[in-house]
Structure 1
Amino acid sequence: MKLRYAYFPGCVAQGACRELYQSTAALTQALDIELIELKKASCCGSGTFKEESRLLEDSVNARNIALAEELNLPLLTHCSTCQGVIGHVDERLKQAQQTDPVYLEQINGLLKKEGCSPYRGSSEVKHLLWALVGDYGLEELQKRVSRKLSGLRCAAFYGCYLLRAQKSIPFDDPYKPESMENVFRVVGATPIYYRGRTQCCGWPLSSYATEQSFQMAGTHIQEAKAAGADCLVTPCPLCHLNLDSRQPEVEKVIGQELGLPVLHLPQLVALALGIEPEKLGLQKHIVSTRPVLEKLGL
């Protein structure tokens, strides 16, 4: 059966990390996964809406989920932050159906005022990683590999939201995750383990504690390099911004040259499916991905 999802691309992939949007499209097309983009969806708030009001965060994201429910499809995102925020709201509202129906009625009343469908709790919120591992399946993915990434040493950077924002994490252990490393093995790459792979990249601090944010990012990159990584691979565009786009600034703060490429998860998998680097936006990164491509003979 063909996989179909209501696609929530989020903000960053349509702006600062356009290559993530590009590579997700290339990957899903190659795997014959159908994405129906939610053009009317709004920003999830990346965890900031709740600082003003939990009702605000819940209402905005109840609307996003309701858009997927209108299609009778699970909501798919390729952003760990979006997954964490929307997935947590979904968990909270499904619980409210049993324990606080008045609160849910308040949210649906706000949605009705905007001409939106009510939140029903009939969908799922699923990151692209979970879709690949759980829905598509690693065995099937391996069958589609036409360019094994042999010799490439990949260090996963899970970040915060994917592992810790929700009570229930499918297909993985939030304390000892292996889903990305299992994907690396399937595409022929070698997983690299290091201390910071499940820690915060520092992005949430960057607007008010920039130096501390960059020190955090620099520590993770240094640890991955020391462990022998050829690249970092992340399922979160906000992590990508702090680790790739700001890596030159990070180098100035820590006083050390880094130069470690940072790939989006769909870019790595799509390379293994034989898709050309230019179609994945690999030339758009701040830190050159050329060393990765040269190692693969591309």
Structure 2
Amino acid sequence: MEFFKMARARTLTREERLDMLRLFAFYTSEGETAPSKKVAEALGRNVGVVRGVWREYCDYGTVTAATPAANRTAHPTRLVHSTQNIELIQAFVRLRRATRMRTTAVDVLTYLNEMDVLSVDLTSKTATLAGVRAVQRFLKRRGYKRGKKPGSSSYHLSKSNVLARDEYVQLMHPLLTGTIRPSVVYMDESFIHHHYKRHHDSLYDPSDELDIQRKENHKGRRFCFIAGILDSPAMDCRVLTLDIFRGGKSQAKEPKDYHGMFNHDYFVKWFNSLLDELDA
């Protein structure tokens, strides 16, 4: 019986009401003085429900299924989905993303409060949380997401770099595919930022085609490195003259520019060390 009560829906279907009506008529024809109680006991329903079904049949000559209880009515929203509000929030998020400022629903709420679009008492924790939920519902309905926007990376080769790469490949291909391979030293220099960090949990609108981020400017300390890689058919391939150093003169001063550290004087000195290591 417990399983039956838990598994059966509380809302009566039309077929269940017809069963009640059939049993009610049966017990009445058998001379039962309280047919409603008998039907309720047999079907495990409330007596009032059985009487209501019989009353409906007597009044209208038929029975209908009850509409299941649910929240189907439209309720007023605190943040109206108007064109003005949609464009206002989209422009706000786009502007902050252009300067790489992390944006959340709380930031949007603060902005809407300043623009008198959504009145919220920010000194009240309860009112603030209610306002945040209203903004979150708006953003979710408009398709906003959090994280790194796909395809938003600005790293690519410039036109001059593409031409230089093609020229380099055309020069090196005959040397590497020829019968006699020469010894080649590949070299490069670059840098990484100390505490390199990017905010990839900010809001963005996937449908905003005007959302373009500029390249991030890092002003932290730099770890610079330069090295050569020997590729030779006659000698062991290895890394040559690896030099790693930190940019800037001291912790208190602004680090030097990357190209300012890898200047001509530094490269000549490093290259002489490379030649000495090759001769060794």
TM-score for both structures, normalised by structure 1 = 0.19
**Greater relative contact order, per chain length (Cα 8 Å cut-off, separation 6+):** 1
Structure 1 or 2: more helix by fraction: 1
